[in-house]
Structures are given as C-alpha cells and as structure tokens.
Structure 1
Amino acid sequence: MFTGLIEHLGTISSIQRDAGGCTLIISDSAPILADCHIGDSIAVNGACLTVTEFDKVPLGGYFRVWLANETLDRTDLGDRKTGEQVNLERAMLAHVRFGGHFVQAHVDTTATIIRREHDGDSLRLWFQLPEPTADRPSLMPYLIPKGYIAIDGASLTLTEVNDSQRIFGVMLVQHTQEKIALARKADGARVNIEVDMVGKYVRKSVIAALGGGSEDGMRRLVEKAVENVVAEQTKSTSVV
C-alpha cells in the first residue's frame, strides 16, 4: 500500500528490452534505499515494482526492477527514455503519518495530457482517458470533482470532470510542480492513472446489491420503479 506522496525523483539510467518485458535501472535513488531489501516494493510512476537488485553507493544509489509485458501494456513506463526522471515512493509503513490517499500502485490505465494553463504560480493540467473497451471499461464513474486520483503515483485532487468527453483536470501548486515529474511531461504524453480504490469497492457493492453483480440490476430497478408509478397512476384513473 502507498500514500501517493512522492518521496523522490529518480533517473532512468538503463533500459533493456526483450520479448518477455523490460528491465529498468533507476539511479540517483539513494534517499529511498536506506532501508531497502531485495524483494521490496517501490512505486515507479505509480506502478508497484519489485526490487531485484540495488546499491546505495554507485551513481548516487540505484535499483533494478523488472516489468512484464502486462505492466508495459498498462502503464507509460514503456514510453520512458534514459535520462528521464520518474516518481518514486516506498511502500507505506504502518506507524507513519498518512497524508495522501490509499494507493495500491496498481495502474488502471493511462491518460493523455491534452492541455495546460498557468494560474499564477500554479499549473492547471487537463487529461483525456481512452475510449472504453470490453476488457477496459470506462473509469469516469470513479472520478468526481474534489475526489482523489493518482497520476503517475502522485495523489492529486480533481478540479473538474467532463464525463461526456472523458476529460478531467487537476491543479499543481508550485511546491508540487518541483517535487513530481508530471509538470515536466509535454502535451500528448501519457500518464499512469489509478482511480480511488474505495470508489471501486463501493460501486461494485451497490451494483451487486441491486442486481446480483451486473449493471443490468440498476436498469431493472429503474424499470420496476417506473412500472410501479404507472400502475399507481392507472389505479387512480380507474377509481376516478
């Protein structure tokens, strides 16, 4: 489990691809390696990855992670190039202050940066989600203004949501712009998206309660309510 509060910006120093996936070496990472062990989880741009090798000294500290093709397909990490910075966060400890929101670092999909606008020292960014498919349904039901979202692993607050166009916006204050890699990405770049896990559980539970685990249940509930209203109106007309 993670908080979405980015601890450090690391630098991709090596990318090795093969048919099975990709190996990344992330350097300049010493500040988050003090308590590191092989097998630990580190969120890289919001994707939970397992440390397979690390050293606290060379290149300011580095660690190695392996990305399966599923991870490359779900995230923006396959787009990254050597020399680019990535957001890093260690798994949350039970005794620390919790300041973000519950982030699993299981990326749901990617979105595209479509526009930016400076607002004083702050930066407003707008993103568009891809068209939903059968195996990747729309995430818009989980997005609400002032709700949580993790973008490249950073816990951010939604400032606006446009369901019909699959667009949402956030605002980065100056401090956040300096601490995460998002502000450095260009328009058209992809970002990793994880919606609020609490919203996922609530929506699934409500759908299951209304219709046995299918969204058809909501439709049947509405149809039943309409039938009841029509029946009551028919009854009233007959009495008159």
Structure 2
Amino acid sequence: MFTGIVEHIGTVVEYKEYDETESGGQGTSITITDCEPILGDCKIGDSIACNGICLTVTEFDKNTFKVGISPETKERTNVISWQKGSKVNLERAVSQEVRFGGHYVQGHVDTVATVISKKPEGNSIIFGFKLRDPHFNRFIVEKGFIAIDGTSLTVTTIDHDDVFHISMIKHTQDNVTLPLKPIGSLVNIEVDLTGKIVEKQIETTLKNQFDNRNSRLHQLISQIIDKKLESVPK
C-alpha cells in the first residue's frame, strides 16, 4: 500500500528485454539509480512504487535497485516509454511510522492517460488529461482522488468530453516528474479504489436481489409490473 506522496525521483539506467532463452522468460528488467535516500532500509522483495506501479525489488545496492516487469504491466502502463535517462517517481510501501498524507494507493495502475494541456495559473500549473480507456471515466469525479504517475492529486474539473484537470502547486512541481513531461506524453492512472468497491458492492447486491424471488427488490418489481398490467385495457 502507498499514499501517493512521492519520496524521491530516480533515473532509469538500464531497460532490458529478456527473450525466451534467458532466465527472465519474456519479461523485462529495469534498473533505477540515484536512489540512495530510499534504499537505506531496503530488502529483497520490498515493494517500491515506480511512477505509480507497485514493483518488487529483485536486486539492490547502496544507490541502485532492479525490478522485473510483466507483460500485463507493460500493457496497462506507460512503462514501454521508459528509456535510459527517464525520470521516475518513487515511493516505498507504507510502514507504521509513515503519516498518511495522500490517499489509499494500491500501486495497481488501471490505465494510462495522455497529457492534453498544461496551463500556468499563478505559481500552479493546471494539467488536462484524457484516458486511453474511457470505461474508467465513471470513477473520476470532481474533487475526488486520483493517482497520476503515483502522485496523489485531486480532480478539480471535468469537461463535457471527459477531459479532467488537476492543479499542481509549486512544491509538488519541484518534487515529481509530471512538470517535465510535454503535451502528448502518457501517464499512469490509478483511479480511487473506493469507487470501484462501491460499484462492485452495488452490482453484487442487485444481482442477489434479482436472483432471489423472495427478496424485497424482487417483490417490489413484481408489484410494479402487476399494477402496470392492471391498467392495460382488456
């Protein structure tokens, strides 16, 4: 679990694709450096969110760590756009000593979005985004949480064409990678888990109610149908 409060910015130093003859199968390994501030308590198997993707540390030293990337992760995220020199937001999994300053972030990226606009507003920047997969739009609400490249942010407005906007203050600009990205770049998106949980609970409850002929909902629908049928001329 993560909070969406970026701790550090690292640099991709190696991006290696494995073929079927190598031990990594068809996976990918990525090595990230300039990471000494967050590796003091690191252990093999630890989770580190890299641009919002929860990844497992497979190797590390004082300044560098390596992670493996699955085909599923490559399909869901912007990781295929990473290359040597790319900057990535980093956050270690929460511990008991961490203040929960952002929101509940799993590190399970739902989809990607394109940076549509960047507009200065005082010392803030207003960013606009468009999702690649529009079925996730229903989970984006005004004043709701969203994680963009692992950064906990608040949706400020949503346009009629489903372009959504966030406002980034100067402090955040100085500590995350988003201001470095030009218009047209892809960013990782994790929508607020709360919306997905609520939707699933409602779907399950309604299905159970519909399937149970003795349920209150089933009885209510039957009563409505009966009344409608009674009003139909014979």
TM bucket normalised to smaller: 0.7 to 0.9
Q: Does 1:52 align with 2:52?
A: no
Following TM superposition, by how much is the alpha carbon of 1:68 offset from its aligned partner in structure 2, in angstroms? 1.2
Q: Does 1:29 align with 2:26?
A: no
* CA displacement, residues 54-107 of structure 1 (integer Å, 9 cap, x when unaligned): 111xxxx01011111111111111101211210000000023211110000000
Counterpart residue number, 1:140:
137
Contact kept, 8 Å, 2:49 with 2:150, in 1: the verdict is yes
Which of residues 179, 182, 189 in structure 1 aligns to 2:185? Answer: 189
C-alpha separation in 2, matches of 1:11 and 1:95:
27
Which of residues 179, 204, 218 in structure 1 aligns to 2:200? Answer: 204
* CA displacement, residues 114-142 of structure 1 (integer Å, 9 cap, x when unaligned): 1111101000001001244xxxxx11111
In structure 2, relative to structure 1, the CA distance for the partners of 1:213 and 1:111 (3 Å cut) is farther
Where do residues 96-175 of structure 1 align in structure 2 (5 Å cutoff)?
Answer: 96-132=98-134, 138-162=135-159, 165-175=161-171
Secondary structure of the residue aligned to 1:157 is strand
In structure 2, relative to structure 1, the CA distance for the partners of 1:143 and 1:38 (3 Å cut) is same
In structure 2, relative to structure 1, the CA distance for the partners of 1:68 and 1:213 (3 Å cut) is farther
Q: Does 1:40 align with 2:36?
A: no
Residue identity in the other structure for 1:158? V
Secondary structure of the residue aligned to 2:75 is helix
C-alpha separation in 1, matches of 2:109 and 2:31:
20
RMSD after superposition: 2.5
Counterpart residue number, 1:3:
3
* CA displacement, residues 134-187 of structure 1 (integer Å, 9 cap, x when unaligned): xxxx1111111110000000000001123x523211110011111000111111
Secondary structure of the residue aligned to 1:149 is strand
C-alpha separation in 1, matches of 2:163 and 2:125:
17
Q: Percent identity?
A: 44
Contact kept, 8 Å, 2:9 with 2:89, in 1: the verdict is yes
Residue identity in the other structure for 1:185? K
Instruction: Give the TM-score of the pair, scaled to structure 1.
Output: 0.84
In structure 2, stretches of 5+ residues that fail to align are: 20-25, 211-216
Contact kept, 8 Å, 2:111 with 2:133, in 1: the verdict is no
In structure 1, stretches of 5+ residues that fail to align are: 133-137, 215-220
Instruction: Give the TM-score of the pair, scaled to structure 2.
Output: 0.86
C-alpha separation in 1, matches of 2:100 and 2:184:
33
Contact kept, 8 Å, 1:122 with 1:171, in 2: the verdict is yes
C-alpha separation in 2, matches of 1:54 and 1:93:
20
In structure 2, relative to structure 1, the CA distance for the partners of 1:171 and 1:36 (3 Å cut) is same
